[in-house]
Chain A
Amino acid sequence: MDWHCTATEERLSDFLDGALSPEEAAAFSAHAAGCAACARIIAQVGALVSQMQQIPLTEEPVHLVGKILDATLGPRTTQQGWQQWFGWMPAIWQPRFAMGLATVAASLAILVHAAAPQGRNVSLADLNPAALVRMANRQVHLTYAHGAKFVSALRVVYEIQSRLGAQTEPVGAPVRESQPQPDPPSSEPHDRSEANPHPRHHEAADGSMLAFAVANRWSESLPDRFTRSRP
């Protein structure tokens, strides 16, 4: 196919767009290979088109969209007075958002309650990280001490209950027989009436008298045990 410089210019965009037939494209390329002027303009236009297609759209001024909306839909009504401060409130009354907000508030309240110093107002100095760590450490130790004290008190109560139960289990039997005897029998005669001079110890089986009986029985049994365990 015969090709000339005018045809190169006329079909340049078709060549760049890949719209030439294979024969035309071959003739175009063959001509460009032998014609410096055509090769130069092909390179220039090719580079220019490639660069132009990479240039982004010119950015509009920031206020342009607002102006267009004002011009087409009319000036937007601006909220006055308290509405401009609380206009966003309806958005947070959405159930999902409100539930999330309540959860976060509850979590924060728990955290603040655990971390805040007890017995005095929170000051700015308490927000120091070192102070926060110290308070948290103190809180943990206090909680542990309270727990240990509670468990210890429970053990005492259970021990007392078990001993009372062991003493009063056979209601009609003598108290002496029902008591555990870890030590060998003492050589000294031990009269039940002497060891338990108060007849009301039998009432300890009654739950309503438990506290009173604990106080009496505990105070009475200690000297007895000490006496018996002595050699």
Chain B
Amino acid sequence: MRRHARRVYSLCYRFTTNAAAAEDLSQEVFLRVYKTLASYQPAYGAFPTWLTSVTRNLLVDHYRRTRCDRLTDSLDDAMPRLEDVHSPARTPDKLAQAAELSEQLQRGLARLSPELREAVILRDLQGLDYGEIRTVLQVPEGTVKSRINRGRIELARVLEEMGVRPA
């Protein structure tokens, strides 16, 4: 339960860059899964894949609802974390660097289009393979590969613009 909750919350947070929204969405995901558990079929893939599909559908709904103020929310939420919580003076160097990279990555992801963002998150942060991502996104595998590839290159460019240089 906790493992699934972490995976769902992490996906929601990476996509929305908003902790409160990620928490609400995670609850909504499990509520929906609980209500529709009887309709689950093996054709939907393994249970974690199905869980990710439900999460992704809710994230798309959430994105459509909050399209207008998405970017400002993301920046407002991310900036204080960098300054207050993950200050290098308070944490050991490596932890601080990892936390800072994670936050910078989060800000870079927020600047990608939703299609590229979700593809990169599912592949590189959630560790799904191409077949699972195809099941979740309901698109052909060629499209999945293309989105992941373009998303990675775009994210690298965005981070370079932000002055972030991956080690």
Q: Which residues of A contact B (CB under 8 A)?
A: 9-14, 41, 44-45, 47-53, 55, 57-61, 64-65, 67-69, 71-72
Contacts and interface: CB of A to CB of B under 8 A. Distances in A.
Interface size of B as a range: 35 or more
Contacts of A45: 152-153, 156
Contacts of A72: 30-31, 34
Interface stretch (B5-13, B65-73, B132-140): B5-13
B152 A68 contact: no
Given A14-B145, A52-B105, A52-B124, A64 B23 contact: yes
Nearest to A72: B34
Interface in B3-36: 5-7, 9-10, 13-14, 19, 22-23, 26-27, 30-31, 34
B89 interface: no
A60 to B, nearest CB: 4
Going nearest first, the 6 A-B pairs with the smallest beta carbon separation are A47-B166, A60-B9, A57-B10, A13-B149, A58-B10, A52-B124
A71 B26 CA distance: 11
Interface in B78-134: 98, 101-102, 105, 120, 124-127
A53 to B, nearest CB: 6
Contacts of A55: 98, 101-102, 105, 125
B34 A49 contact: no
B167 interface: yes
Interface string B26-52: 110011001000000000000000000
B27 A71 contact: yes
Given A44-B156, A68-B27, A13 B2 contact: no
Given A55-B101, A64-B9, A68-B5, 14 more contacts: A9-B153, A12-B149, A13-B145, A14-B145, A14-B149, A44-B156, A48-B159, A51-B101, A51-B105, A57-B125, A57-B126, A60-B10, A61-B23, A72-B34
B160 interface: yes
21 contacts: A12-B152, A13-B152, A14-B149, A41-B153, A44-B156, A44-B166, A47-B166, A48-B155, A51-B101, A51-B166, A52-B120, A52-B124, A58-B9, A58-B14, A60-B9, A61-B9, A65-B2, A67-B23, A67-B27, A68-B1, A69-B1
Contacts of A60: 2, 5-6, 9-10, 23, 26
B5 A48 contact: no
A60 B5 CA distance: 7
Contact of B13 (A9, A47, A58): A58
B152 A48 contact: yes
Contacts of B59: none
Contact of B7 (A9, A47, A51, A57): A57
Nearest to B146: A10
A45 B148 CA distance: 12
Contact of B30 (A14, A51, A58, A71): A71
A109 to B, nearest CB: 43
A55 B100 CA distance: 11
A61 B19 CA distance: 9
Contacts of B23: 60-61, 64, 67
Given A67-B27, A71-B31, A72-B30, A57 B156 contact: no
A44 B125 CA distance: 17
A67 B120 CA distance: 29
